[in-house]
Structure 1
Amino acid sequence: MELYPVEHLRKEPVKEKRAQVDAIEYSAYVHAIRDSKYKAILNEKIPPVSPLVELPASHRFTGSSRFVVNDPAGAGIHATVFAALVSRIRIR
């Protein structure tokens, strides 16, 4: 799992924040497909088509790593931002 932090967007106006999160999520989606051995990924749905942007520095977690957020809202993470963070599942 690879997470892209978007904390820098916290103080942006809602409309701008949503557009930037959509662009990051779509860019991560396209990047994952390009890097996939089979040029496909498993995803619940295609993120909103947005302009491709440079992805922020990511944090990668392996099967032995643990990342737990039981209550994203309680951790100060908006559900949309949390969904964008939890992206990129690759087929190998």
Structure 2
Amino acid sequence: MNRRAREADFPNKFSELMERLEAANGPISAAPYQGAPVGAPHEHATRVYFLDELIALLGWTLGLGGDVVEEARLKDKTTTRMDYLGKACETDVPALLIEP
């Protein structure tokens, strides 16, 4: 799918993603331990059920050969880890940073 078609389809696809999350009708994360109350979604569940799909909707590719690296290290005066780092293919420069 070309960029214009993907951009035009984004609002519909994003709405579908949100509807699927709402239709799950409950927490997307398990309780942290047996008998504990279920609270806000864990980071991992948020990544699997929302962010991975959002990244794909934005036209980025996860996985081997993709343009998004997971748990990437950025180094300047200090080193920091980003959950997702998308690199511009032409320049290898970070163009997408996600740290929920």
Max radius of gyration: which structure?
2
Q: TM-score, normalised by structure 2?
A: 0.29
Structure with more relative contact order (C-alpha pairs < 8 Å, separation 6 or more): 1
Q: TM-score, normalised by structure 1?
A: 0.31
